[in-house]
Structure 1
Amino acid sequence: MFTSPLLPASARPLPALAVLAACAMLAACSNDKPASWQGYVEGEFVAVASPFAGRLEKLAVDRGQQVANGAPLFILESDDERAARQQAAEQVRVAEAQLADIQTGKRPVEVAVNQAQLAQAQAQAVRSAAQRKRDEAQFEIGGISKAQLDESRATADADAARVRELQRDIDVARLPGRKDQLAAQAAQVESARAALAQAEWKLSRKFVNATAAGLVYDVPFRPGEWVPAGSAVVRMLPPGNVKVRFYVPEAVVGSLKNGQAVRIHCDGCAAPVPAKITYVSNEAEFTPPVIYSNETRRKLVFLIEARPATDDAPKLRPGQPVEVTQS
């Protein structure tokens, strides 16, 4: 290569190796900034509803309010459910009383009546037996006929049988109900209790509490309005339901995996929000319209989902555009 001796050393062309080294250094400097990917925040909302229809009697929360797990959210009118529970409770008491009555047998007063009848029958049996002996003696000496003796014997036998009958009645009165009868009535008691439990459950569905702590995102109904069965009265966003969806090119997706740490950058965030990847798509797709990136436009990308820690989730808002980098 020709070099003019009149040019200063600083102005002379660099050797080829020096040029390549300088380019490599510049390339290295340009790669110091970590790769970033565009995405947005998404919330998996929890629609809190009652399985039964009713007028909204009380709304205990407002939109934008943070509530704790188990906090009251709303109450629907419950007159019909209260009446049904009262009816079921009375049916339980009736069935239990009938079972107790069968288990104890007859009442003491009823047993006392049977005992009085037995005493009367025993006295009659004693008289009949005595008359029989007299008639037998008279028949031996020819004082009475054979027919009269037979009648006396029959009367004595009948009175003795009556005594045995009343004795058995008293024994039966003191026994509980039969096994099959007891089992049938016990089943009636269990059926009544199940109906009561169902009535109480239906009543409890009119008093709805939060099943998890979180943000009250929306309240579509107001007190006094009719709420159809299954309609969401409160839409909540628990911290664990906040995630970030972002897209990476094919050359990068192979280096990302579940559990890997990333950083989420957003406008207004004082510092990057740490998160962990929870989902890596196996299928490529075109860059969605919501992602405005000149570098990835009209290219195939892969969906990645990451979730921040529960304490960091409130820093992000659904629909908020973010930028994601590797930690």
Structure 2
Amino acid sequence: MNPMNKGETMRKILAIALTALLLAGCGKKGKKQVFTGVLEGKSLHVPAMVGGKIESLYVEIGDEVQKGDTLALLDTTDLVLQRDRARAALEALRAERAVLRTQVRLAKSNLGYAQERYERVKRLFEQQAAPQQRLDDAKNQLATVEAAYRSTQQRLRQLDAREKELGAQLKLIDKKLADAWIIAPAAGVVATRYFEEGEAVPPMQPVAELIYLREMEMKIYLPEEMLSQVKVGQPVKVKVDGREEPFPAKIVWISPRAEFTPKTIMTPETRVTLVYAAKLRLANPEGVLKHGMPAEAWLE
């Protein structure tokens, strides 16, 4: 099992177990119903859009970053060489096209002259003032000039298409060069660095994990009989160890699907208990609350 999935499963089991025990105790004493869970920030895995060797890492675990901050830089030597080669090819193509355009203008002029000469010889031939051979010569010359004109036009169109191709290649290379700078897409705290300087990272693999702590979430599990008393948007109080005052929160999601409590830790009586997951959200502007911190919650 993936360690991250295993940890999530254990937190879920712990939350359900503690919630069931607290509910049982609270029911006997007539006190408020307290739910337990684990606070979690929004986890964001920042990928390397292109692969390559990590040239520099600019953050350490625990650093707080803002949106747009540079986290790492990949080696761009190969990309720079590809860009230089594409630029040189584009310059050579434009020089060749300038020469070819001159040839196209000359071929067009020759074509006009050949057409006029053919029409003139044709009229003379119809008036029996020119022999058949002269007409045939004019016709062959016109065909040759027409073929040369079409050929230069076709070559010019090919160069135009090649220029577009090279332009697209340069845009792609420029994008890869920009993607070599791994930028924080949002503010957060660096929780994990998956690679170190000098290591090769494959394309689309995460380089770092950011945890956004300014807004926290917590998952609790509600017994079936409480669903009619709970709704999305309902205020909730959340308390953590070390803080006397609770934090205001609200329910933002209630699962439409029931699930049984895990069989691994519950008693035979509670194994058939149906619960519904609910998600709480609370502000954490001062960063007091931390990812993975246990907490208690109760409905207002």
Q: TM-score range by the shorter chain?
A: 0.5 to 0.7
Residue 260 (str. 1) matches residue 234 (str. 2): yes
* Contact kept? 2:215, 2:285, Cα under 8 Å: no
Q: Does 1:322 align with 2:295?
A: yes
Q: Give, in whole Å, the separation in 1 of the partners of 2:265 and 2:237.
A: 18
Look up the match of 1:245: 219
CA contact (8 A) 1:74 1:209 kept: yes
Please give the alpha-carbon distance, in whole angstroms, between the structure 2 residues aligned to 1:290 and 1:269.
33
How big is the shift at 1:214?
0.9
Query: CA offsets, 1:40-92, max 9 Å, x none?
Result: 12344222221443322111011111101010000122211111121122222
Please list, as runs of the form range in 1=range in 2, the aligned pairs for 1:193-204 lying within 5 A after superposition. Answer: 193-204=167-178
- Alignment of structure 1 residues 1-327 onto 2, 5 Å: 34-105=32-103, 180-239=154-213, 242-269=216-243, 271-287=245-261, 298=271, 299-309=273-283, 311=285, 314-327=287-300
Counterpart of 1:318, as a letter, is: H
Number of residue pairs aligned between Structure 1 and Structure 2:
245
User: Counterpart of 2:201 in structure 1: which amino acid?
Assistant: V
Show CA shifts across 1:276-296 (max 9, x none).
32221122223459999x9x9
Larger radius of gyration: 1
Greater shift, 231-240 or 178-187, is seen at: 178-187
* Counterpart residue identity of residue 74, structure 1: A
Query: Closer, same or farther in 2 for the Cα pair 1:85/1:303, shift >3 Å?
Result: same
Change (3 A) 1:104 1:324: farther
Name the SS for the 1:315 alignment partner.
Answer: coil
Cα contact 2:188–2:212 (8 A) shared by 1: yes
Q: Report the Cα distance in structure 1 between the residues aligned to 2:65 and 2:208, rounded to whole angstroms.
A: 12
Rounded to whole Å, the distance in 2 between the matches of 1:269 and 1:183 is: 74
Task: Output the TM-score relative to the length of structure 2.
Answer: 0.66
After superposition, the Cα gap between the structure-2 partners of 1:63 and 1:46, relative to the gap in structure 1 and judged at 3 Å, is: same
- 1:45–1:241 contact (8 Å) kept in structure 2: no
4+ residue segments displaced more than 6 Å: 289-292
RMSD of aligned Cα (Å) = 4.0
Task: Pick closer, same or farther for the CA change 1:48–1:291 going to 2, 3 Å.
Answer: farther
* Structure 1, unpaired ranges of 5+: 1-29, 109-113, 115-152
Is the 8 Å Cα contact of residues 103 and 176 (structure 1) preserved in structure 2? Answer: no
1:74 to 1:185, Cα distance in 2 relative to 1, 3 A: same
Quick one: structure 1 residues 302 and 183, their matched pair in 2 at CA, closer, same or farther if it must change by over 3 Å? same
d(CA) in 2 for partners of 1:240, 1:322:
16
Q: 1:189 to 1:69 in 2, by over 3 A?
A: same
Shift of 1:255: 2.4
Say if 1:35 and 1:192 are closer, same or farther in 2 by CA, change over 3 A: same
Contact 2:233 2:251 in 1 (8 A): yes
3-state SS, counterpart of residue 283 of structure 1: coil
TM-score normalized by structure 1? 0.61
Counterpart amino acid of residue 70 in structure 1: G
Using the alignment, how far apart are the partners of 2:259 and 2:83 within structure 1? 55
In structure 1, give the amino acid aligned to 2:279: E
Residue 201 of structure 1: SS of its match in structure 2?
Answer: helix
How far did residue 226 of structure 1 move? 3.2
| CA distance in 2 between partners of 1:64 and 1:82 (Å) | 33
Please give the alpha-carbon distance, in whole angstroms, between the structure 1 residues aligned to 2:281 and 2:101: 63
Decide whether aligned partners of structure 1 residues 310 and 317 sit closer, same or farther in structure 2, where only a CA change above 3 A counts: closer
> What is the Cα deviation at residue 196 of structure 1?
0.9
Q: Which amino acid aligns with 1:315?
A: V
* Conserved? CA contact 2:213–2:289, under 8 Å: no
Partner SS, residue 90 of structure 1: helix
Contact kept? 2:213, 2:290, Cα under 8 Å: no
